Amino acid sequence: MSKPIRLGIAGLGTVGAAVVKLLNERQQRLQAALPRRIQLVAVTARDRTKDRGVDLSGFEWVDDAVALAVSPDIDVFIELIGGETGTAYDAVEAALRSGKSVVTANKALLAHHGTELARLAEKSGAALKFEAAVAGGIPIIKALRESLWSSEIRRVYGILNGTCNYILPLMMTEGRAFDDVLAEAQAAGYAEADPTFDIGGFDAAHKLALLTSIAFGTEVAFDDIYVEGIENITPADIDAADELGYRIKLLGVALKTDAGIEQRVHPTMVPKHSAIAEVNGVTNCVAVDGDDVGAIMLVGPGAGAGPTASSVVSDIMDIARGDRTPAFVRPAADLVPQERARMRAHEGAYYIRMSVYDRPGAFAAIAGRMAEQEVSLESIVQRRAHRALPGIDAGRAPGELTNVVLITHPTTEAAIRKALEAIVADGHIVHKPQMIRIENL
Ligand code: HSE
């Protein structure tokens, strides 16, 4: 057997410690599948004294991640620090410049600097691998890079954030408030250090940016993603969705259209009996629609020490086998700039919920505004009436309010937005209307 491939790990949080443990405990099994021995030789983290539940005594301790990244003692740098900039960026950049392959779980780093880092890796002949950055233990990157490569892909979509997927079903089944369930997800360790990354949709968007690039051969373009989080979803929406036969999920969708690649992350109504509606809790799922292959869906743990470590080790194994395929499969120079499809061009059905003054002509005016934009309504449901809150609409005598829920037939987002602007201007409703896109599955 040739000389071992030497690993250095930067970041010994839950995932880093789990990778050390996995490499220790599964040594024999890993070696059985590899032409070269893999050997962890050095580690670095912020706090040397912390007990991480793994024995680090056999490894060199390096105080500085960048120093480890360029150390002549390692061949592969494993970045588990996290963060779009700062030490993670500096260390990965330094490792790639010095020709060392990199394995990272850092979705934010790659979503913002993926194309540039892929270019650096190719220049120095290094590999840059990131299975753990997207959907934890689900091997979707490998599936797209290898197994599904021959298919022309039309759409990639999925539940890419476990925290949101944990919150939304609990709001429905237990009728609990958003903040209460979020606090529970944070306590359980699912949420990002800053949970606005989760609930604001940005974590899912980071992952979607990477999937899009591999699936469609485009430069990584996080800034071209339309992002809307789940902060404004109310129990009223969840109840209405249930009555109408839907569940609400935060979906990430990348779709090839005539106008370009539509990349979006937003709360989405999916049919209650679809496979994706059944994916609950911190579980993630990624679905791919491709020519030839048809519809594929992978479901599994999207976070957590064990699943994420398993993906990190799978990348290390590929490097040990000699895989130097470009990070996004095509050489970075061949990735085409994103041709961004604007959300106003999005076509689909919509759920709209409005608090309407229950008075003659209100419904007719709303339906009229929809008709003006050629939006056809599939259903209108008037839900329980309630009293207007005092002061909700200064200058107008408070009247009875009724919750009106509309489901439209497929239309363009531009038409819906224009119709809603006119409805708001007509003054028959209080509050901004709620609009949730319905995904055609
Ligand atoms: N905060 C992420 C989630 C963890 O909730 O899915 C994995 O990226």
Tell me, what CATH number does 26's domain have? 3.40.50.720
Evaluate whether 101 touches 36 at the Cβ level (below 8 Å).
no
Residue 10 has pLDDT above 60, yes or no: yes
Residue 369 has pLDDT above 60, yes or no: yes
> Is residue 163 within 6 Å of ligand 1 at its C-beta?
yes
Residues 273 and 404 in one domain: no
Residues 129 and 146 in one domain: no
Would you place residue 261 in the very low, low, confident or very high pLDDT band (cuts 50, 70, 90)? very high
Cα(26)–Cα(48) distance, rounded to whole angstroms?
25
Q: Which atom of ligand 1 lies at the shortest distance from residue 133's CA?
A: 8
Domain boundary among 93, 109, 133: 133
Evaluate whether 354 touches 429 at the Cβ level (below 8 Å).
yes
Average pLDDT on 405-430 reads 96
Residues 350 and 382 in one domain: yes
Q: For residue range 155-168, what is the model confidence (pLDDT) as tens digits?
A: 999 999 999 999 98
Q: What angle do CA 299, 305, 309 make, to 5 degrees?
A: 80
Q: For residue range 220-233, what is the model confidence (pLDDT) as tens digits?
A: 999 999 999 999 99
Q: For residue range 79-115, what is the model confidence (pLDDT) as tens digits?
A: 999 999 999 999 999 999 999 999 999 999 999 999 9
Phi/psi-derived region of residue 153, left when phi > 0, alpha when psi is between -120 and 50, beta in every other case = beta
Higher model confidence: residue 174 or residue 355? 355
Residue 90 counted as domain residue? yes
Q: Over pLDDT 90: what percentage of the chain?
A: 80
Residue 154 structure tokens:
């039309």
Residue 334 counted as domain residue? no
Domain boundary among 133, 164, 198: 133
207 is catalytic: yes
Residues 58 and 205 in one domain: no
> Is residue 204 within 6 Å of ligand 1 at its C-beta?
no
Supply the pLDDT for residue 338. Answer: 85
Cα(357)–Cα(387) distance, rounded to whole angstroms?
10
Question: How many domains does the chain fold into?
Answer: 3
Cα(302)–Cα(138) distance, rounded to whole angstroms?
7
Supply the pLDDT for residue 181. Answer: 85
Residue 261 counted as domain residue? yes
Residues 150 and 121 in one domain: no
Cα(86)–Cα(354) distance, rounded to whole angstroms?
45
| Centre of ligand 1 from the C-alpha of residue 152, in Å | 29
Sheet with strand 128-129: strands edge to edge: 60-61, 36-44, 2-10, 76-79, 101-104, 128-129
Residues 156 and 294 in one domain: yes
232 CB-near residues (< 8 Å, 6+ apart): 434
> Is residue 303 within 6 Å of ligand 1 at its C-beta?
yes
Q: Which atom of ligand 1 lies at the shortest distance from residue 197's CA?
A: 1
| DSSP code for 389 | P
Residue 63 has pLDDT above 60, yes or no: yes
Supply the pLDDT for residue 177. Answer: 78
Residue 321 counted as domain residue? no
Residue 337 structure tokens:
């700039």
Residue 320 counted as domain residue? no
| Centre of ligand 1 from the C-alpha of residue 167, in Å | 12
Residue 393 has pLDDT above 50, yes or no: no
> Is residue 302 within 6 Å of ligand 1 at its C-beta?
yes
Residues 125 and 187 in one domain: no
Supply the pLDDT for residue 395. Answer: 40
Residue 182 counted as domain residue? yes
Would you place residue 244 in the very low, low, confident or very high pLDDT band (cuts 50, 70, 90)? very high
Q: For residue range 191-209, what is the model confidence (pLDDT) as tens digits?
A: 777 889 999 999 999 999 9
Evaluate whether 365 touches 420 at the Cβ level (below 8 Å).
no
Residues 148 and 297 in one domain: yes
Residue 422 has pLDDT above 90, yes or no: yes
Task: Choose among 353, 352, 361, 351: nearest CA to 399.
Answer: 361
Supply the pLDDT for residue 182. Answer: 86
Residue 129 has pLDDT above 70, yes or no: yes
Supply the pLDDT for residue 384. Answer: 59
Q: Residue 292 sits in a domain of what CATH number?
A: 3.30.360.10
Supply the pLDDT for residue 354. Answer: 94
Residue 394 has pLDDT above 60, yes or no: no
Decide: helix, strand or coil at residue 20.
helix
Residues 43 and 157 in one domain: no
Residues 74 and 180 in one domain: no
| DSSP code for 391 | T
Cα(340)–Cα(333) distance, rounded to whole angstroms?
19
Q: Residue 40: beta bridge partners?
A: 7
Residue 340 counted as domain residue? no
pTM here is 0.94
> What phi and psi, each to the nearest 5 degrees, are found at residue 325?
-55, 140
Range of the domain at 381: 346-438
Lowest mean pLDDT among 91-95, 201-205, 272-276, 390-394: 390-394
Would you place residue 2 in the very low, low, confident or very high pLDDT band (cuts 50, 70, 90)? confident
Cα(331)–Cα(5) distance, rounded to whole angstroms?
25
Would you place residue 388 in the very low, low, confident or very high pLDDT band (cuts 50, 70, 90)? very low
Residues 55 and 73 in one domain: yes
Supply the pLDDT for residue 1. Answer: 55
Q: Which of the following is catalytic: 100, 107, 129, 207?
A: 207
> Is residue 165 within 6 Å of ligand 1 at its C-beta?
no
Task: Choose among 222, 206, 17, 69: nearest CA to 130.
Answer: 206
Cα(85)–Cα(82) distance, rounded to whole angstroms?
9
Q: Residue 380 sits in a domain of what CATH number?
A: 3.30.70.260
| Cα atoms in the Cβ-side hemisphere of radius 13 Å centred on 20 | 25
Residue 178 has pLDDT above 50, yes or no: yes
Domain boundary among 93, 117, 133: 133
Cα(27)–Cα(362) distance, rounded to whole angstroms?
70
**Based on the number of CB atoms within 10 Å of its own CB, is 142 exposed (0-12), middle (13-18) or buried (19 or more)?**
middle
Decide: helix, strand or coil at residue 166.
helix
Candidate of 104, 198, 202 to mutate for ligand 1, largest count of ligand atoms within 8 Å of Cβ:
198
Q: Exposure pattern of 190-202 as b/e (b: 16+ CB <10 Å)? A: bbbeebebbbbbb
Residues 129 and 145 in one domain: no
Q: For residue range 212-222, what is the model confidence (pLDDT) as tens digits?
A: 999 999 999 99
DSSP string for residues in 42-104: EEE-S-SS---SS--TTSEE-S-HHHHHT-TT-SEEEE-S--SSTHHHHHHHHHHHTT-EEEE
Q: Whose CA is nearest to atom 4 of ligand 1?
A: 303
Lowest mean pLDDT among 92-106, 135-149, 163-177: 163-177
Residue 329 counted as domain residue? no
